[in-house]
Amino acid sequence: MDPLLLEVLACPAEDHAPLTFDDQAQTLTCTSCGRVFPVRDGLPVLLLDEVIQ
C-alpha cells in the first residue's frame, strides 16, 4: 500500500483514528477501535458493513 495513501486514510467510525496496514493479510486495522477492514485488489474497503472480526 502506498505510504502516502496510508497517511490520509482513517477509520470510518466516529473517532476517525489512523489505520495500520498488514501486507500479508491485506487488511487495514484501526489503531483505536481495532476494526479490521479488507483490502481487495489493492483498494481499501472502508465500509463498516465490511469489517472483518
Amino acid 1: pLDDT: 87
C-alpha dihedral over 37, 39, 45, 51, to 10 degrees? -20
Q: Cα 19 to the chain's mean position, in Å?
A: 5
- For 1-53, strand residue ranges (E) read 19-22, 27-30, 36-40, 43-44
Amino acid 53: pLDDT: 76
Amino acid 31: pLDDT: 97
Distance CA 37, CA 49 (A): 10
Q: Which CATH number fits domain 3-50: 2.30.30, 2.60.120, 2.20.25, 1.10.10?
A: 2.20.25
Q: How is the chain split into domains, by residue range?
A: 3-50
Q: Cα 11 to the chain's mean position, in Å?
A: 6
Q: Model-level pTM greater than 0.85?
A: yes
Give the tens place of pLDDT for each residue, 1-53: 899 999 999 999 999 999 999 999 999 999 999 999 999 999 999 999 999 97
